Amino acid sequence: MNSANDNPVVFFDGECNLCNGFVQFVIKHDSHCQFKFASLQSEHAKDIPQLPGKVGNVEGLTTVIIKHRGAYYSKSNAVLLIAKLLGFPYSLLNVFIVLPKPIIDSIYDWVSANRYKWFGKRGACTVPTPELKSRFL
């Protein structure tokens, strides 16, 4: 069995309603409880290479990031890896990996750039329920 440090960690914008909804979706469909979660606003995000100097201030950040087996993945790579790790049927989304990365990342960027306008923004990061607290860093 993997130690807690081996679990994939999903970093997300804790103030974004779309991002929070995505995290809730992953939690609901993560039958093996393998994923851990941390907001990009947290101290746990300070070592992410893509975020130098941004911890606590994610204004302008437009991506979900996953740390898996010591590597960091962002944008479409992150979403497709999460889908793969969730297993069937979500792993079927990996058919999109054949598309050129600039194309799927441009779609990702478009949704991300409009996420607050379309889905809204919270005033603060979501506090996990007591049942889910162990899943959050």
pLDDT, tens digit, for every residue of 109-130? 899 888 889 988 876 666 677 7
| 74 neighbors 63 (Cβ within 8 angstroms) | yes
Rg over CA atoms, the chain: 14
Which of 44-48, 78-82, 115-119, 133-137: highest mean pLDDT? Answer: 78-82
pLDDT for the residue numbered 2: 44
pLDDT for the residue numbered 68: 94
Return phi, psi of residue 69, to 5°: 55, 40
pLDDT for the residue numbered 121: 84
Integer Cα distance of 27 and 48 in angstroms: 22
pLDDT for the residue numbered 48: 80
